[in-house]
Amino acid sequence: MPVRLGLFYAAIFIGNGASSPYMPVWFHHRGLSGAQIGLILSAPLLARAVTAPAIAVWADSFKLRRTPLVLLALVTAAAYALLTPNLGFVWWFAIWFVANSLYATLPPLHDVIVLNRSRTDDFNYGWPRGMGSAAFIIGNVGMGAILARWSPELVLVWMVMAVLATALGGRFLIPPDPVLASGAKAQLSDRLGGLKELIGDKDFMLAVSSVGLIQSAHAFYYGFSALAWKQQGIPESLTGVLWGVGVAVEVGFLWFLEPWRRKVGPRNLLVMGGAASVIRWTTLAFSPPLWLTFPVQALHTFTYAATFVASLEIVERLSSRTNASAAQLMNSALSGGMLMGLATMGSGALFDGWGAKGYLVMSVMSLAGLAGAVRLYGVKRLDG
């Protein structure tokens, strides 16, 4: 079972590995400015505070958890394909909004399935999730090598094929786990009630906001690291390798540090993630030499992986079975949503005006998230 669940993560993230660093390159190749790219990338993120909970309520209306995953992937693949014609900024903006809004819900919805299965089948969640991260590296390095020789147009071809593979994986790899233990459909009133309960929970909102600030500080890196490194004279083939180094250490964390992770605890992990984030973005702001950039990329272990795993456990402890999907999607909505959207939208202008110095604003966001993470030590529900 862990292998099948991991292969589905791999199908998702082999696309994400190409999309995250290289869709901005594709848009730039099509003639858009940094500010326009920032607007396109940020719009679905800004709206995710609304779209993610709405999709969570819709997803829990099915009997099986895998059904909405298949449907979401099919529509996403069609949306990516529609980007192909030279439609211009307005149409690309609208189509990307749909594609990214739907695609971003796949990992957290799958997280709910894998977290439940890891308890019932007694396996480490990090193993299947690490397979997804390994596939992310393949997307990074593979697309970087392709772009070193061929046109950025191939980024979109890669994405359509990857999302179609995700749809197939949703049908044939994910077990038919029910949304409710009884196998019945959840009533709309219950789904909305669980969502309202989360929104009114101050501890939950503090947790997801703190995580959101630390994760959203990756915005400049996700949107403009490839272009910033290109300005430094680093070839695109090495951009994929640099991204790959960051994700490789993430895989190591997920696969081999489970005993240490459990000993440290989610709150300590989150604080480590916030502190590492401040160091990472401050260093990259000053365009370090290549020999230093590689170890700085290794901080991805904490800035992303430790923060991500900590958030899953914290959110799970602060939610219930009836609102688990909504809780994970709200966590994702802030981590890769509204806060990420604001940071991404600003990153376009930061890159146009300041170049790599735009990373300094990400350092400030990380400090704010770190402060919130420290406050979680006072939340008794997270003890133990």
Could you tell me which residues are beta bridge partners of residue 178? 64
Contact (Cβ atoms closer than 8 angstroms) between residue 46 and residue 339: no
Task: Kindly give, in sequence order, each residue whose CB lies less than 8 Å from that of residue 113, ignoring residues fewer than 6 positions away.
Answer: 5, 65, 66, 174, 175, 177
Q: What count of other Cβ atoms lies within 10 Å of the Cβ of residue 290?
A: 12
Phi/psi at 87 (5° precision): -85, -20
Render pLDDT for 50-67 as a digit per residue (tens, 0 to 9): 888 788 778 877 888 889
Angle subtended by helix axes 290-297 and 236-256, to nearest 10 = 30
Residue 284 has pLDDT above 90, yes or no: yes
More confident residue, 119 or 278: 278
- Fold of the domain spanning 2-378: Growth Hormone; Chain: A; (1.20.1250)
Render pLDDT for 220-277 as a digit per residue (tens, 0 to 9): 998 788 888 888 888 877 887 887 788 788 888 888 877 888 888 889 999 999 999 9
pLDDT score at 246: 84
Mean pLDDT of the chain: 85
| CA angle 45–274–298, rounded 5-degree value | 90
Residue 193 has pLDDT above 80, yes or no: no
For the chain, give the percent of residues with pLDDT over 90: 29
Task: Name residue 192's amino acid.
Answer: L
Q: What count of other Cβ atoms lies within 10 Å of the Cβ of residue 284?
A: 26
pLDDT score at 374: 93
pLDDT score at 258: 77
Render pLDDT for 103-133 as a digit per residue (tens, 0 to 9): 988 988 898 888 888 878 878 888 898 888 8
pTM as predicted = 0.74
pLDDT score at 256: 84
pLDDT score at 5: 92
User: Which structure tokens are listed for 9?
Assistant: 């993560």
Question: Tokens 């059904």 sit at which residue?
Answer: 67
Q: How far is CA 311 from CA 122, 167, 212, 318, in A?
A: 20, 27, 9, 10
Phi/psi at 122 (5° precision): 55, 65
Render pLDDT for 29-40 as a digit per residue (tens, 0 to 9): 888 887 888 788
pLDDT score at 278: 96
pLDDT score at 186: 57
Among positive and negative, which fits the CA dihedral 14, 16, 17, 22?
positive
